[in-house]
Structure 1
Amino acid sequence: MKKPGFTMLILLILLLPLSGWADSSSQDQSVNQLEETVVTSGRIEEKKQDVTTNITVYTSEDIEQSSIQDLSDLLLKEGFYINEYPNSTISVGIRGLSTDTHGNDLASNVLILINGRRAGTGNIAKITMNNVERIEIIRGPGSVQYGAAAMGGVINIITQKGWEGFTASVEATMGSWDYAEGAMDFAGGVNWFDYSVSASKSSKGDFKTGDGIKYDNTGYDSKENIDFDAGITFSPKNRIGFSFSSHDGNQIGSPGKLESVNTEDYVDHALESFDIYYDGQTQDDFLLWKLRYFSGKDEYYITYPSSPSKNYTRDTKNQGLQAQITARWDLIDVTGGLDWVDYGIESSNGPGKENTFDNPAFFILTKTRLMEERLILSLGGRYDKYEIESTSGKTKNESNLSWSFGTVYKFSESLSIRGNIADAFRMPTADQLFSYTDYSAFGWGIWSGNEDLDPENSRTYEIGIDYAENSLSASLTYFYTEFKDKISYESIGGGVTQYKNIEGATISGFEGSIKYNISDRFNWAFKVEPYGSFTIFDEYTDDSTGENLTQTPDWSASYGLSVSNREIGLSSRLNFTHYGEQDMSDGTQLNPVDVADWSISKRLFSFEKYGEVALKGEIVNLFDEDYALVQGYPSPGRTFYLGVKYTY
């Protein structure tokens, strides 16, 4: 199964010299590509080419090209591993590690951020694409920058702010399975004040699989989203902002496996957050600072009408503070600051109630530029202090020191190599430490915590090469992770299952991407751009069993062709996603699958000063594949979407 992946790897290397094909008239595009900036890796704006880790950026244009309702839709099409239980609970995996299946932010090994602070959930079904400017993804550890749970990677959703003037749009979409959505947004600014607002509401019925079998209880009554950001620029380069975000899902089907569908069970869930922040800097750009206070809640309610005693609720409230300052000299940038987060988790039953998690931290990140900025060195360290307390008053205090070191060497403006070594960790939850709960009503027996649990920890090594010139960009990264003290569980007799630390895992492999704008060579009016990306595991072994990690495809890829013409307002994309073979925890396997999606958008009318109207369409699962990403939970068959959007 790995041969196709290595073939892609070889082709990627061979294609690097083809940059000479590009027309010299595309030099401006090359400069723009090279000057792309990111904020996630160093917590300040910096050139993407100066980052020592493998980082991927998806722009608002990438998001706009297809009918994406939430973050899982985007990541699925981009080849990230998605573990989906229809509509209500969706996790994402990066480099063999993932967010928690049940959405618990503190139990995840991939960290979700919104504007650089913890989103408060690991359930990406709750992360909408409203008001999103771009998404930055660190593939690999981010604990030095952001603390616990960032072992496999960090996904940072950066929302849009207003600007001078006024823009607005209204969109209506209909689709298969009685899907309907209405959305609107507007943004603008006057003098010192700016704002950005978006809202949407959707509903969906039960879907059919690729085999034409109706999968009952897979729809939902409504998903409502509101996002708001406003700011005051009281002096040049100094802005105070306020933001609010709300996702509310009602009567979401919770069907169980296809062969044992329960048509009555449903989930209500919500994610809400409030932020107030201040971004500023001196006029000479020597000092930059950021302050942010945030609070929010993550709600999950599951209802069993036939067995009310099983009804379950979990409310997670969080608040936090971020403060950092950066000093920039000619040769070195130094960023230091503190983070603080506090969680309160209440559950109606299960292991533990009203558990708390308190975490202050201090960090320092440095970046040095040598040899006329051809050599970049980065060094970072972070100290985290934890106090975890259960409802019974039991506490555990723990601390952790993380560090990272990376380097970039630029052979030219087009070609560079990078390397990085970084630690990461995850603290045990209060449930895993202190619980003692009878799950006999569910048939699971008694589950017991273990106060002697150690934090999970890892060390990752990676080396990569990046190339970007004219219309060709390509990247290749090798990574190796030693994952230790994984928190698992075992039976200790008497019907009791207890949490424990086990050996962990060894994970290594390659990541690659390539994109080439053919149009520049032939001076076409249309932009024609084939692209591809892949992740292939050389090793993904559970050290305690010697077997492959479960629910991890041996390789995955996303590839396709994008065509667009701004003059006539046309864009289209044909995308293929491949998931390789994966072992499941019950001893079965999921076979490899390829899924195709096709989207198109065409401007119908333009009213000069009064905006334009565009027609959008998409076919998801174009060839009606019958497949599942989780054993027993099939994905929808061929699905159609058609929408109309007015933009002013």
Structure 2
Amino acid sequence: MQKAILSLFLCLIVSSAIAENEGDTLRHYHISEVTVATSRTNAKLKDLPQKIEVIDQSVISMSPATNVADLLKSVTNLDIIQYPGVSSSFGMRGFSPSAHSRSYTLILINGVPSATTNAAAFPMAAIDRIEVIKGPLSALYGSDAMGGVINIITKEAGSDRANGQISLTAGTFGTQRIAADVSAPLTSASSFRLGFSKNEQNSNYRIGKRNILSQPELSELILDKKSFGDVMLNSKYTTHDFTGQINTRINNKWKTSLDVIYFGADDIETPGNYWGSYGQSKKDINRLNLAGNVSANYERHKLSLSPYFGSQNTRNYSNNSETGYVSLDSDIREFGLRMHDNIGLGFMNLLVGADVDVYEYRSDRFSGKGTPANPYQPDYNHRKIAGLVQASRTISQLQLNAGGRFDQISYELLANDMLNSQKGSETYNTFNPSVGIKYNLPLNFAIKASYGTGFSVPDAFKVAGNYSVSEYFPAWDFWWVKNYEGNPDLKPEKSNTMDLGLSFTSSNRFFSGDITWFKTRHDDKIVEYTFKRNNEQGEEITITSYKNADKSNHEGIELMGAANFGTLFDNRFKLELYSNFTFMLNYTFDETKADVTTTYDMLYVRKSNGSFGILFDNYNGFQTRINGRYIGNRLEKDSFSALRPNITADHYHTKGGYEAKDKILELPNHIVFDWSVYYTYAGNKRFGIGVSNLLDENYSEKDGYNMPGRMVTGSFSFLF
């Protein structure tokens, strides 16, 4: 299948190159002209050698997705772990998604840290576009950007005249949404924007009833045959958000802006899993993001100074009843300052910058209402001071960029009497370079290559921790105790990534395509291990610690292509066929136990991912889009063997280094379709119908957590 798709793709490129005709392309907007904010140099997409995907308003406005996680998984080839209850995390290019507070994929809001890895906790109404950069970006943004960066860019306040819109949506599963947005000038030199949205699902969702692709019996056993068309209990939620922005132009060179985003959700129901074996509970999420910017535009200098603050509080309850209490209360705070100067030197452009970032984690755990219990880990801080430089130069058809970033990272672990944890600290330095080259060939072809390194800092308790976690189980009259000890010699995880690509865009914009090969070596992976030691009383105890031991290798091919048949009819309409696929050629990691090294396939990484579809716009108010998402097979550990007795040892995956005793399942592949149709009347009234999971597929993004089946919504928007 992969060879067939690749052959067809290359044939399309060649045939388009031969058959293209020179048309008037200046009067039609093209995505390659977009300025990429994540580059920090305001470079155009067409001039960057790195692999970048931009999800603009034409895609966002046509998607039936209710949050950023649903949008991203349907149009980009990212790996996702997603649970009911507004929870998700992403990975890309073989880096497994993580459901924890840290990740290999960095999520930014307007170029600054977001204080979360949960893309499901981002509403759609305030978003202007999303930039997805695949590959390491630590040379620009530091830690946690090993796999790539997702930069969510919000709408800007308009300065010309007052405008806005209000949207109402209703549909299945008790779905109700309202969104309002207004933008207006305050004075001749300032403007503001205010937005609000509320999203409700007032009924438990129903799981899909069928599978489009032919599935073996094991696939039905994994999904559970009883789940087809069944209801996912305890899956209701309500979220709301407020966004605001103030822009002020001080003079013809200096301007300022302030962005505010608040996301809130109380009593989000969490089913635990399809069977409810982990207990039906609820949680609250409250996140605040503040970001300021002071910028100046001189002839040779473009200065930017961006202070930011982000915080997210999550409260998990013991159950979803009146007697439920907060069992875990956690806070994440990120704040700092981003500074850079884009210097025009005539023969090249130079970016010089400095970043100061602080990351703080705090948590409280309770065994009863108001009864403290020892937390799962101590509170800790990371402080990072970084300097960076990037140079870019264009020589005729050749574009070059190169640079690097030096980070000094300080870990601080706070004392905790309940954990018997002492205060500790460590410091680490790291340098990460990057280089890219792009050359424009004849016939509108271009070749590109890039290399970069990335890093991810370990949590402070893995470096400087020394504590014990205990919990009493009265039913068995048993104390569970686990002893932890940090490793001061622990190094950040590192990666090296090489990209090679070929792209093509016909002169009349009929066809555009891109093929990219990437290869990543991920070193110094942090793993948990145990050893024995006598305590002060002379008793032998087991200590859990951490070490840099494992490595992994990721290799794959990414294909993108789009053909707009409207260009063949003088652009009187748009009829676009598009596709975007990722095929993993290698996604393995090495693990050493007792001096024996075994190579395993990665968990949670799809063998292949893809999106494809057709979009029609008659440029007279009518738009419709059908989008398909192909979800490839993935491996997961069977955590529910007691709940699925029909799954036996014979069903477990015994390839890629695994044995039946490891209880690894190969989850099935799926295709999920979405459809939407909109009509704009009189230029300011928009009616729409959206259908998520059009063919009612039963699938999961995490084993045991079946996703919603077909959801139909109707919407009305009024623009003023």
The TM-score normalised by the length of structure 1 is: 0.93
Partners of 1:23 and 1:410 in 2: how far apart? 18
- The one of 610, 615, 623 equivalent to 1:562 is 615
Distance 1:5 1:187, change over 3 A: farther
Q: Aligned with 1:125: secondary structure?
A: helix
Which amino acid in 2 is paired with 1:52? P
Q: 1:473 aligns with which of 494, 497, 512?
A: 512
Q: 1:31 to 1:594 in 2, by over 3 A?
A: closer
Distance in 1 (alpha carbons) for counterparts of 2:409 and 2:443: 44
Residue in structure 2 matched with residue 448 of structure 1 by the alignment: 484
The one-letter code matched in structure 1 to 2:523 is: K
How far did residue 585 of structure 1 move? 2.9
Alignment of 1:499-538 (within 5 A): 499-523=546-570, 525-538=572-585
Amino acid at match of 1:122: T
Q: Does 1:580 align with 2:619?
A: no
**Residue number in structure 1 paired with 2:256:** 240
Does 2:146 align with 1:132? no
Q: What is the letter of the counterpart of residue 380 of structure 1?
A: G
- Runs of 5+ in structure 2 lacking a partner? 209-227, 366-374, 416-422, 474-478, 533-540, 592-597, 639-663
Offset at residue 300 of structure 1 (A): 1.1
Mapped to 1, the partners of 2:335 and 2:97 lie a distance apart of 20
Change (3 A) 1:134 1:293: same
- Assess if the C-alpha contact under 8 Å between 2:485 and 2:543 holds in 1: no
C-alpha distance in 1, partners of 2:248/2:172?
43
SS across alignment from 2:157:
coil
Q: Distance in 2 between matches of 1:31 and 1:268?
A: 42
* CA distance 1:601–1:495, change in 2 (3 Å): farther
Equivalent residue of 1:13, what SS? helix
Q: How far off is 1:237 after superposition?
A: 4.2
Query: Structure 1 residue 310: deviation in Å?
Result: 7.6
The one-letter amino acid paired with 2:558 is E
Q: Partners of 1:235 and 1:276 in 2: how far apart? A: 18
CA–CA separation in structure 2 for the residues paired with 1:271 and 1:98: 25
SS across alignment from 2:625: strand
C-alpha offsets along residues 507-528 of structure 1, whole Å, 9 cap, x if unaligned? 0000110011011114474311
2:180 to 174, 179, 184: 184
Is the 8 Å Cα contact of residues 351 and 389 (structure 2) preserved in structure 1? yes
Query: What is the alpha-carbon distance in structure 2 between the residues aligned to residue 24 and residue 369 of structure 1?
Result: 25
Aligned partners of 2:427 and 2:279: how far apart in 1? 44
Q: What is the aligned counterpart of 1:354 among 367, 379, 382?
A: 379
Q: 1:299 to 1:599 in 2, by over 3 A?
A: same
Q: Distance in 2 between matches of 1:101 and 1:630?
A: 10
Kept in 1, the 8 Å contact 2:113–2:334? The answer is: no
d(CA) in 2 for partners of 1:223, 1:111: 23
Instruction: Tell me the amino acid that sits aligned with residue 604 of structure 2.
Output: Q
| 1:168 has 2:186 as partner | no
- What does residue 36 of structure 1 align with? 34
1:213 to 1:386, Cα distance in 2 relative to 1, 3 A: same
Correspondence for 1:142 among 137, 143, 146: 137
Task: Pick from 469, 490, 502 the counterpart of residue 438 of structure 1.
Answer: 469
Kindly report which structure 2 residues correspond to 1:376-415, keeping only aligned pairs within 5 A, or say none: 376-392=399-415, 393-412=423-442, 414-415=444-445
Is residue 309 of structure 2 the alignment partner of residue 256 of structure 1?
A: no
Distance (whole Å) between structure 1 residues aligned to residue 26 and residue 444 of structure 2? 13
Quick check: which has more Rg, 1 or 2? 2
Aligned residues: 630
- Alpha-carbon separation, structure 2, partners of 1:155 and 1:549: 22
Question: What's the offset of the Cα at 1:263?
Answer: 6.1
SS in 2 for 1:44: coil
Contact map agreement 1:445 1:495 (CA 8 A) in 2? no
Q: Check conservation: 1:135, 1:155, Cα contact below 8 A.
A: yes
Residues in 2 aligned to 1:613 and 1:152: alpha-carbon distance in whole angstroms: 41
Change (3 A) 1:613 1:445: farther
Distance in structure 1 (CA, Å) of the matches to 2:19 and 2:269:
52
Question: Would the aligned equivalents of 2:350 and 2:391 in 1 still touch at CA under 8 Å?
Answer: yes
Q: Does 1:217 align with 2:270?
A: no
Moved more, 557-566 or 61-70: 61-70
Quote the residue 2:701 is aligned against. 629
Instruction: Provide the C-alpha distance between the structure 2 equivalents of 1:168 and 1:124, rounded to a whole number of angstroms.
Output: 25
**Deviation digits for residues 9-45 of structure 1 (CA, Å, limit 9, x no counterpart):** 222211112335455334326784543321213x121
Query: 1:364 matched to which residue of 2?
Result: 389
> Is residue 641 of structure 1 aligned with residue 713 of structure 2?
yes
Inter-partner Cα distance in structure 1 for 2:123 and 2:472: 35
Classify 1:546/1:30 alpha carbon distance in 2 versus 1 (closer, same or farther; 3 Å): farther
Query: Which moves more between the two structures, 410-419 or 393-402?
Result: 410-419
Residues 1:362 and 1:311: Cα distance change in structure 2 (over 3 Å)? same
Cα distance in 1 for partners of 2:409, 2:166 equals: 46
**Cα pair distance change 1:502/1:217, threshold 3 Å:** farther
Whether the 8 Å contact between 1:338 and 1:360 is mirrored in structure 2 is: yes
Indicate conservation of the 8 Å contact 2:249/2:255, yes or no. Answer: yes
Conservation of the 8 A alpha-carbon contact between 2:97 and 2:604: no
Q: Give 1:591 deviation, angstroms.
A: 0.5
CA distance in 2, matches of 1:445, 1:50: 56
Tell me whether 1:549 sits opposite 2:602 in the alignment: yes
Is the Cα–Cα contact under 8 Å of residues 352 and 430 in structure 1 kept in the other structure? Answer: no
Does the CA contact (< 8 Å) of 1:485 and 1:501 recur in 2?
yes
Match of 2:331 in 1: 315
Moved more, 412-421 or 150-159: 412-421
Q: What is the RMSD of the two structures over their aligned residues, measured on CA atoms?
A: 2.1
Name the structure 2 match of 1:92. Answer: 90
| Cα distance change of structure 1 residues 266 and 52 upon mapping to structure 2, 3 Å threshold | same
Change (3 A) 1:172 1:240: same
Q: Note the residue ranges of structure 1 that are not aligned, 5 or more in a row.
A: none
- 2:153 aligned with 1:153: no
- Give me the whole-angstrom Cα distance separating, in 2, the residues matched to 1:34 and 1:61: 14
**1:87 CA displacement:** 2.6
**Given that residues 114 and 334 in structure 2 are in contact (C-alpha distance below 8 angstroms), is that contact kept between their aligned partners in structure 1?**
no
Aligned partner (choices 304, 308, 330) of residue 318 of structure 2: 304
Q: Matches of 2:524 and 2:325 in 1, distance apart? A: 36
Are the aligned partners of 1:351 and 1:431 in contact in 2 as well (CA < 8 Å)?
A: no
Q: Tell me what 2:214 maps to.
A: none
CA distance in 2, matches of 1:415, 1:232: 42
| Structure 1 contact 98–110 (Cα < 8 Å) conserved | no
Q: Is the 8 A contact 1:465 1:475 kept in 2?
A: yes
The answer on whether the counterparts of 2:54 and 2:130 sit within 8 Å (CA) in structure 1 is: yes
8 Å CA contact 1:173, 1:644 repeated in 2: yes
Equivalence map 1:62-101=2 (5 Å): 62-78=59-75, 79-98=77-96, 100-101=98-99
What letter matches 1:403 in structure 2?
P
Pair 1:590 & 2:590 matched: no
Aligned CA distance change for structure 1 residues 519 and 22 (closer, same or farther; 3 Å): farther
Task: Map Cα deviations across residues 209-238 of structure 1 (whole Å, 9 max, x no partner).
Answer: 111111111111x20111111111122242
Cα distance between partner residues in 1 of 2:497 and 2:236? 40
Report if the CA contact (8 A) 1:450-1:500 is conserved. Answer: no
Distance 1:254 1:449 in 2: 33
TM-score relative to the length of structure 2: 0.84
